[in-house]
Amino acid sequence: MSVFTPVSESQLAAWLKNYSVGAPARLEPIAAGIENTNYFVTTSDGSYVLTLFEKLTPQELPFYLNLMAHLARAGVEAPAPIPDRTGALFSVLNGKPAGLVIRVDGTQIDAPDVPHCAAVGAALGRLHVAGATYRPRLSNRRGPGWWRQAARAVRPFLDQERNELLAAELKFQAGFGKGKLPRGAIHADLFCDNVLFVGDRVSGIIDFGFAATDFLAYDLAITVNDWCIADGGDTSGELVPELVAALIDGYQGVRALNADERAQWGALLRAAALRFWLSRLYDLNLPRPGELIHAHDPAHFERILRDRIAHPARLPESPAGALSTGAAS
């Protein structure tokens, strides 16, 4: 991710003395994303990912780190945080809370196919089922309250047409009741660059920095909006039916969606598109200073939002044998 807080080799060496991971050998910044500072760290004992949390407070961090540990214990493909010699999952590095996880083998998929989507759907289903027994709760910091704040901040940078689209969608979402939908721990950012594969198998789910307690089907909608779309040309951002079917079938093979989730699917896809359109508008027009800046194009999610409005989506039917458990109320 963008490097907002530089770390020198000597600073890393001093910090790693609190860990039983061997002597540091290499420190490499990760120049992708826009939220935290990440480095690949190689030591005499193995390979790790160091994260300096730029926005999360020490009071918020236990939700994220303990969730990752909980999921890993349940067999979900999440890298468990490594405790230091005192048992703590994070400590301060250069003024920021920082943590260490094992670097997961695997590669990102830039152009998902049916097997990839099926595998991701099943992995997300396992995450939601395992998360149902995770008792801590944390409100989504990129939820509707943040949407309204971000909209006010970015409006001066938008033309009249985009301001009208933004105002109309915020009004639509405010009037759309989702209170009955099952809630629990969600990843909230399960894009292609946050899943690692070995062949057609998911080997790692990474970057839990936006995890929260929220609607499970909203998490599924976020995932579908990134994994199941046409790439390039006039159809960029449109849903690809066979990819959607594969991902939803994979998910429902683990956890079946209920009638309320199915009825509100189209609005959830729109909500997911709105959230990421707003965040990209905000990051592009109101960037934070960083050594490496990687701002995503807001136009991508504007196209997705317009498509979801113009073409309301329906869910494929639930496959036989899908489980109905794994949802917190």
- Interatomic CA distance for residues 52 and 3, integer angstroms: 9
Residues 76-100 have a mean pLDDT of 95
Claim to verify: residue 247 and residue 182 sit in the same structural domain: yes
Task: Judge if 173 and 55 occupy the same domain.
Answer: no
| Residues 41, 47 contacting (CB under 8 angstroms) | yes
HSE-up of residue 145 (Cα within 13 Å, Cβ side): 3
> For residue 57, what is the DSSP state?
-
Task: Mark whether 196 and 233 lie in a shared domain.
Answer: yes
The answer to whether position 220 is within a domain reads yes
Closest CA to 28 of 45, 49, 10: 49
CA distances 157 to 83, 92, 163, 274, Å, are 44, 36, 9, 16
In the chain, how many domains are there? Answer: 2
Residue with tokens 């961090």: 61
> pLDDT (tens digit, 9 = 90+) per residue, 51-79?
999 988 888 999 999 999 999 999 999 99
pLDDT of residue 1 exceeding 80: no
Q: Average pLDDT in the 244-256 region?
A: 97
The whole-number average pLDDT for the span 309-320 is 80
Angle at 78 between CA 124 and CA 58, to 5 degrees: 110
pLDDT tens per residue across span 110-132: 999 999 999 999 999 999 999 99
Looking at the structure, tell me whether residues 97 and 126 fall in a common domain.
Answer: no
Instruction: Say how far residue 171 (Cα) sits from the centre of its chain.
Output: 25
**What's phi and psi for 88, nearest 5 deg?**
-75, 145
**pTM of the prediction?**
0.91
Q: Are residues 149 and 237 in the same domain?
A: yes
* Residue 24 shares a structural domain with residue 142: no
Judge whether 189 and 300 are in contact, CB under 8 Å. no
Q: What is the pLDDT of residue 282?
A: 95
Q: Going by C-beta distance under 8 Å and a sequence separation of 6 or more, which residues neighbour residue 33?
A: 1, 2, 193, 207, 294
The residues with which 47 forms a beta bridge, in sequence order, are 42
Half-sphere exposure of 161 (CA within 13 A, CB side): 2
In a domain? residue 4: no
Which helix (H) or strand (E) element contains residue 51? strand 47-52
Rounded to an integer, what distance in angstroms lies between the CA atom of residue 238 and that of residue 308? 8
Q: Does 290 lie in the same domain as 197?
A: yes
Q: Once rounded to an integer, what is the mean pLDDT over residues 244-251?
A: 98
Same domain, 293 and 145: yes
Provide the pairing of β-strand 47-52 with 195-198: unpaired
Residues 174 and 301 in one domain: yes
Question: pLDDT class for 33, splitting at 50, 70, 90?
Answer: low
DSSP string across 92-110: EETTEEEEEEEPPP-B--S
Which domain range does residue 261 map to? 114-310
Which pLDDT band holds residue 329 (cuts at 50, 70, 90)?
A: very low
Residue 237 maps to which CATH number?
Answer: 3.90.1200.10
Residue located via tokens 């309301």: 312
pLDDT of 184-207, one tens digit each?
A: 999 999 999 999 999 999 999 999
Asked if the structure places residue 140 within a domain, the reply is yes
Note whether 176 and 268 are same-domain residues. yes
Average pLDDT, the chain: 91
Q: Are residues 207 and 294 in the same domain?
A: yes
The CB-side HSE value for 289 (13 A sphere, CA atoms) comes to 2
Residues 95 and 213 in one domain: no
Q: Which helix (H) or strand (E) segment is 203 a member of?
A: strand 201-205
Supply 66's token pair.
């303990």
CATH code of the domain in which 58 resides: 3.30.200.20
